[in-house]
Structure 1
Amino acid sequence: MRPFFKKKPFFSKEENDLIVQSIRDAERETSGEMRVFIENKCRFIDPIDRAKEIFANLKMENTKLRNGVLFYVALKDKQLAIFADSGIHEAVGEQFWKDVVSHILVFFNKENYALGIKECVQKIGEALKNNFPYDNNTDKNELPDEIIFGK
């Protein structure tokens, strides 16, 4: 997927750096992988369907322990979804994801998107760390940490 560059970025440089650093900090303690995908509009009625499509396009199911997590946001449509691979989903269960979404909506309802994403990444990072702790001998960063911007 090609990055989409707009005249006005979604986030300031500081907000972008905050999100990317939160991903790096979380992944430093787990073998799990997280990606953040931001676009204006969701092409699907259900944002989880769009998140599944992006997850597949990014080949996130190729992580060794099936512990990749995609955080998807369509800003103008005010849609979000979290799609997790089978390893982490089975480890934490459906209620965990509902709780994370409820938590982030507090931030999103105040239009504080960057801080909300950072908070969400930290919560997911804790779950990944608890279920897939980092092993210095075998783990490596399998996916880039940068935010992906769609259309």
Structure 2
Amino acid sequence: MLATLKRLFKHRWLDETDTRRAIPPDMVKRLAQRVAASEKRHSGEVRICVEAGLPTSYILRGATARDRAVTMFGKLRVWDTEHNNGVLIYLLLAERAIEVVADRGLNRKVTPQEWREIVARMGGAFRDGRFEDGLTEALAEVSALLVQHFPLAPGEADTNELPDEPVLG
């Protein structure tokens, strides 16, 4: 019970103001531009979501950052792409937790070890408070996988199925 209370306090201590301080509007704009540029090279869709803390209901039931990332993957409709190749890059500030959730089309082609390595590389930047560097690196690595497995054919235009702007909460 004490661990749950400590965790609850940690997640309630941070709010959207902290998220916007970590990811200011100019960074949101740059990240959206990077997502848009990435998606011109492949048929996948990439979303970035940064949240300060988990909702209270998640903490009380012992849910993890991964549980929340999977929920946000659904809420943001990242699963709803034509080729089942959407990817969510999720950052939870309260726990400095990073999750990458990919739809089944891409998951069939990328090993769990590759995803863990991407998350590990992002972790160093986030631990140092370099959120833009970490998100940019993650986007570059996810984009490389999407270009490798779902490239656009020469002359094929990208259909932008989801918004490019990061979601902050």
Q: CA deviation at 1:76?
A: 2.3
Give the counterpart letter for 1:17 in structure 2.
K
Match of 2:113 among 87, 90, 95: 95
**Aligned pair 1:127/2:139, yes or no?**
no
Structure number, greater radius of gyration: 2
Once residues 132 and 42 of structure 2 are traced to their aligned partners in structure 1, the CA distance between those partners, rounded to angstroms, is 22
8 A Cα contact 1:35 1:69, kept in partner? yes
Corresponding residue of 1:16: 28
SS of alignment partner, residue 125 of structure 2: helix
Contact 1:16-1:114 at 8 Å conserved across structures? no
Aligned CA distance change for structure 1 residues 138 and 14 (closer, same or farther; 3 Å): closer
Aligned residues: 147
Q: Deviations over 1:118-151 (max 9, x none)?
A: 110010001001100024446401000001112x
SS in 2 for 1:145: coil
Q: Is 2:157 the partner of 1:145?
A: no
| Structure of higher RCO (CA pairs closer than 8 Å, 6+ residues apart) | 1
Identity %, equivalent residues: 27
Q: For the structure 1 residues 40 and 126, does the alpha-carbon distance in structure 2 shift closer, same or farther, using more than 3 Å as the test?
A: same
TM-score when scaled to structure 2? Answer: 0.79
User: How big is the shift at 1:8?
Assistant: 7.7
8 Å contact from structure 1 (residues 68, 85) kept in 2: yes
**Partner secondary structure for residue 9 of structure 1:** helix
2:39 alignment partner, one of 19, 22, 27: 27
Are 2:16 and 2:51, in contact at CA under 8 Å, matched by a contact in 1?
no
2:43 aligned counterpart, secondary structure: coil
Give me the TM-score of the superposition, normalised by structure 1: 0.88
Amino acid at match of 2:118: V
Runs of 4+ in structure 1 deviating by more than 3 angstroms, as ranges, are 4-8, 135-139
Report the aligned-residue RMSD.
2.0
More displaced, 92-101 or 13-22?
A: 13-22
State the 1:15 CA deviation: 2.1
Report the CA distance between 1:91 and its aligned residue. 0.9
2:11 matched residue in structure 1? none
Q: How far apart are the structure 1 equivalents of 2:102 and 2:159?
A: 19
> Which residue does the alignment assign to 2:88?
70
* Unpaired segments ≥5 residues, structure 2: 1-14
